[in-house]
Amino acid sequence: STGAVKMQPRAEELKFVTKNDGYVHIHPSSVNYQTRHFESPYLVYHEKIKTSRVFIRDCSMVSVYPLVLLGGGQVHVQLLKGDFVISLDDGWIRFVAASHQVAELVKELRCELDQLLQDKIKNPSMDLCMCPRGSRIIGMIVKLVTTQ
C-alpha cells in the first residue's frame, strides 16, 4: 500500500514551551524521556537545567482542570472569537471552555478553593472534610478531576 503514516516524534524531538525560556526538552535522565505522547500538552516540572539546550527533569503531565484549579495566578474568563476562554498567568495559558456557564463555574470553583485554603491557613486545626463547605468543595473538585 502507499501513503504516509503519522509517526510519534522521537524522544529527542519532543519539545515544550515555557514562558521565560521558550523551547525546552525533557532531560535524557528523566523517567519521561522515552514517553512519545502525552494526553495533555501541559507538564509541570521541578528542575530546569541548561547545558547544550534547556532541559526539564522531574516532570509530570497535568490535565486541564487540575492546572486551572491548582495552578498559580488569577483565573480569567473572556470571549475570544466566539469561544469562552479560561486563562491563567496573564493569558500565557489558555483553555477553551465548553460554554460560558462551564467557564464561570470553573472560575468560581477556583475562587472557592482559594478561599477554603486561606481559611485552613488561618485555622490549621480545621478539618476540611468534616466542615460542610469544605467537603462540598473537595467533593466537587474530586468529581471534576476524575471524570474529565
What are the average pLDDT values for consecutive 10-residue runs of the chain, which has 148 residues? 63 81 90 86 91 91 89 88 89 88 92 94 93 92 84
Q: What is the DSSP letter of 21?
A: T
Radius of gyration in angstroms for the set of CA atoms belonging to the chain, rounded to a whole number:
19
DSSP-based three-state secondary structure for 1: coil
What pLDDT was estimated at residue 85?
Answer: 92
Where do the structural domains in the chain lie, given as residue ranges? 11-62, 65-146
Cell 494526553, located at residue: 39
In this prediction, residue 139 carries a pLDDT of 92
The amino acid that residue 30 corresponds to is S
Q: What is the per-residue pLDDT for 2?
A: 57
CA distances from 9 to 26, 36, 51, 53, 82 (A): 13, 6, 22, 18, 33
Amino acid 34: pLDDT: 86
Per-residue confidence (pLDDT) for residue 64, from 0 to 100: 87
